[in-house]
Amino acid sequence: MNLARLAAEAGARGAPVRAGLIGAGKFGAMFLAQVPGIAGLEVTAIADLDPDRARATCRGTGWTEAAVSRTDFVADGAALAARDDVDVVIEATGHPRAGIAHARAAIGAGKHVVMVNVEADVLAGPALAREAAAAGVVCSMAYGDQPALVAELVDWARAAGFHVAAAGKGTKYLPAYHAVTPDDVWPHYGLTAHEAAAAGMNPQMFNSFLDGTKSAIEMVAIANACALDVPDGGLGFPPCGVDDLAHVLRPRDLGGQLDRRGMVETVSSLERDGRPVFRDLRWGVYVVLEAPTAYAAACFRQYGLPTDSTGRFAAMYKPFHLIGMELSISVLSAALRREPTGCATQMRGTVVAVAKRALKAGEILDGEGGFTVWGKAQPLARAADALPIGLAQGVPLLRDIPQGAVLGLDDVRFAKDDPVPALYRAEVAAATRG
């Protein structure tokens, strides 16, 4: 609760927190828009494949020319991570292999890391966290993004003595969305392709939000950070508004839709026939609490907390998240408290690549939100040999894959100099042995 004061005091004594941003896309731009108003926080360097575009982004978010001139713009993220004038590296490229490389470069240089790159986190988050701890730095989830906000709710619930029955977020979902490609994504957002292009919106990235992949990635990240389980059959996306969270997200033997207590799940803002859910949670996050005693359940009732029919399950939620505009919370927490806003601790789940259509040997997979595959959350024990969505980009298929089939790690050919497949296999082997 004292981050603003701590940051202001650091700035006043001439030691502001110095951040370096890798990837000046939408998330990064929202962060940059807030920085000028935060005492004790500076962005000393920005790395982007197009430094001129990054400069334009800063100007477009309200930076003065003086502020732009004080910032170095470079193209090399690893070089940024090694700079002496950077205390915290923000990895916001969205590219899993690049994210892992940048995080390791930052940790090796003794820098804290804030991983906006959830794709990298679900591939190697526990390994990066161990490396960071050994180096005496923090590797953190990005506050403002839904996984970190959920991790905060889960931590609050447990610190208050409640059992966590379920945790997750809301989204707009219908089963047919799994087949959507970047070519037909914009009507689902009420936009034309021209309007989306004018706003600088990337169709493949936005399609990942729609086709279920991003939800799977975020739920697995939450499971890995909060010691929660991934549903055995993958995310169910039950239609559910905020008033019904405690009813829907409780175990099946009590009338709910969970396999068991302690699960991650994403709720849909649409009924299966396309009608809007009443008081939906499309933009928010939630945790479902279970009272540990009859006394606690009675207190739920006495203080007006809506519960399920048993009186023992209740929900807390946050209806919105501000994405990059809240990212400074993680940056300041890492630098001033040496504390992450969520951090992967163990591999409990993975996000497997599923064929959107029949695929032929020799085709090159195009990854998250693309034309070839979508990502499905799975418990790690059930999918140890499956191809994770984070490795399903830019690699050729070795055999034909029917529509709807889960791809295997041995179904593609990785580049010989790519270190990430071996890192992922090692993490999976260690987790499944345990």
Token look-up 């239609």 returns 239
pLDDT score recorded for residue 401:
98
Contact between 47 and 21 under an 8 Å Cβ cutoff? The reply is yes
pLDDT score recorded for residue 197:
86
Query: How far, in Å, CA of 209 to CA of 374, rounded?
Result: 11
Closest to 412 measured CA to CA, from 377, 366, 378, 369: 366
Query: How far, in Å, CA of 360 to CA of 233, rounded?
Result: 26
Q: Phi/psi zone of residue 363: left (φ > 0), alpha (ψ -120 to 50 degrees), beta?
A: beta
Rg from Cα positions in the chain = 21
Query: How far, in Å, CA of 228 to CA of 64, rounded?
Result: 45
Secondary structure of residue 101 in the 3-state scheme: helix
pLDDT score recorded for residue 434:
61
Query: How far, in Å, CA of 132 to CA of 344, rounded?
Result: 12
Query: How far, in Å, CA of 226 to CA of 342, rounded?
Result: 8
Contact between 24 and 48 under an 8 Å Cβ cutoff? The reply is yes
Residues of the chain below pLDDT 70? 434
pLDDT score recorded for residue 198:
83
Q: How far is CA 119 from the centre of its chain?
A: 7
Secondary structure of residue 424 in the 3-state scheme: helix
Question: 299: which residues sit within 8 A by CB, 6+ positions away?
Answer: 291
| DSSP symbol at 97 | H
Query: How far, in Å, CA of 364 to CA of 398, rounded?
Result: 10
How many angstroms separate the first and last alpha carbons of the chain? 37
For residue 69, which amino acid is it? S
Question: How many Cβ atoms from other residues are within 10 Å of residue 203's Cβ?
Answer: 19
Contact between 235 and 173 under an 8 Å Cβ cutoff? The reply is no
For residue 220, which amino acid is it? V
Secondary structure of residue 335 in the 3-state scheme: helix
Domains of the chain: 3-144+325-337 (3.40.50.720), 147-173+212-320 (no CATH), 349-433 (3.90.1210.10)
Query: How far, in Å, CA of 206 to CA of 94, rounded?
Result: 12
DSSP 270-284: B-TTSPBPTTB-TT-
pLDDT score recorded for residue 1:
77
From residue 318, give the alpha-carbon distance in Å to each of 210, 282, 285.
21, 11, 5
C-alpha torsion sign, points 72, 78, 79, 83: positive
